[in-house]
Amino acid sequence: MNKQTLIASAKLGAALGAALVAAVLLVHLFGAPPLPASPPTPSTTEWPQWGGASGKPYWVYRSGAQVWGSTLVADGKVFLPTHRGLVVLAEGKKMKLLGKSSVGSELDGSPVAVKDTLYVTSRHDLWAVRR
């Protein structure tokens, strides 16, 4: 990396850092925007490609917790990592809760299935669960 590239990178880093500090300061001074009282209900126009002629989703599961990881669909099940634990739903057009599992930590990553093992991560741990 040459000197000009290093200088340009340093300037960009400083500008991004200044923008982040400004954003944090604004939130500190004026407060964060309020969160909605409840999640919005999907409208009939949101999912026309998935809900058939009606355009409505087949079902919506309200986890009641933050979801940062992606869902995994495997073995006829939908695995949903949340900050309260792992939610397992049945795959299909009808919503069916199969179970919930709390691991004592917020699940931030997306579960991965390899053969008969499900891998689930949190900020500090990795669990490997066999079927």
Q: How confident is the model at residue 59 (pLDDT cuts 50, 70, 90)?
A: confident
How far apart CA 71 and CA 114 sit, in angstroms, is 15
H-state helical runs in 31-128: none
24-57 pLDDT per residue, tens = 544 556 665 555 566 556 555 555 566 556 667 7
- What pLDDT is stored for residue 123 in this prediction? 83
At residue 32, the pLDDT reads: 58
Quick one: which of 61, 70, 131 has its CA closest to 97? Answer: 61
Q: What is the pLDDT of residues 5-23, one digit of tens each?
A: 555 555 555 554 554 544 5
pTM, full prediction: 0.60
Helices (H), the chain: 3-30
* Beta partners for residue 128, in sequence order: 119
Phi, psi of 29 (to 5 degrees): -75, -40
User: Which residues are CB-neighbours of 59 under 8 A, at least 6 positions away?
Assistant: 93, 94, 95
Q: Which two tokens stand for residue 56?
A: 């409505």
All structural domains of the chain, each given as residue ranges with its CATH number in brackets, are: 61-130 (2.40.10)
Q: How far apart are CA 24 and CA 3, in angstroms?
A: 32
